[in-house]
Amino acid sequence: MRKYELGGVTVQKRSRLPHWHAEHAINFVTWRLFDSLPADVLERLRAERDAARDQISRMRGSVTFAEQRMLDAALTEACEKFLDQNVGECYLRDHRAAQIVADSLKHFDGIRYLLFAWCVMPNHVHVIFSCVEGFDTSSILHSLKGFTSREINKILGRSGTLWQAESFDRCIRDSQELEQKIDYVLGNPAAAGMENWPFTGMYPDRIGEAK
């Protein structure tokens, strides 16, 4: 794992996916089932991002912090569009499995993190939250994935890997981006053709305080 500082934001890189962290930040995080984004698709999308970065470097000699964020955001957006095609077994389409994730998200709300909005899709999960002091995104996701994997495997009568080890995350920069991400998370089911999907939530009072 590589770790470096850019503009007051800590960037960690695992397996070529960037993870952005800042103290007291509000985070937009997506994690997914292991079979929801085939390796060849992800590699193609990464190659497209890297080619765009190389082109900028050739033109000006370097890539700015803002440009790198933009390129990484474009990669995340492309991956999320692919996830909405519901590729893979989509175990979370089973309401019992989706409920386990939803209940787990709410269980530690106010203890390890503060939720702003969340959505459990058939093959991935979106969460907007800020970490409580003493916890970070990595430890929170490790706990959530570990518990939900065991419980979902039990009810589905399966074993083995459930979640992809990597996740997509970014620090939300301002109130405008916060509104945009919340609209995206809450509107994701309808955008994917899933009307009246019950596994979403938001916390308006916290959203107002964050602006």
Tens of each residue's pLDDT in the chain, 211 residues: 433 233 344 434 444 444 445 556 899 999 999 999 988 998 999 999 999 999 998 888 888 888 888 888 888 889 888 898 989 999 999 999 999 999 999 999 999 999 999 999 999 999 999 999 999 999 999 999 999 999 999 999 999 999 999 898 888 988 899 999 999 999 999 999 998 999 999 998 887 676 6
Q: What is the pLDDT of residue 207?
A: 75
Tokens of 176: 């405008």
Q: What is the pLDDT of residue 23?
A: 58
Q: What is the pLDDT of residue 22?
A: 56
| pTM of structure | 0.80
Q: What is the pLDDT of residue 201?
A: 96
Q: What is the pLDDT of residue 72?
A: 87
Which domains are delineated in the chain? 2-36+89-210 (3.30.70.1290)
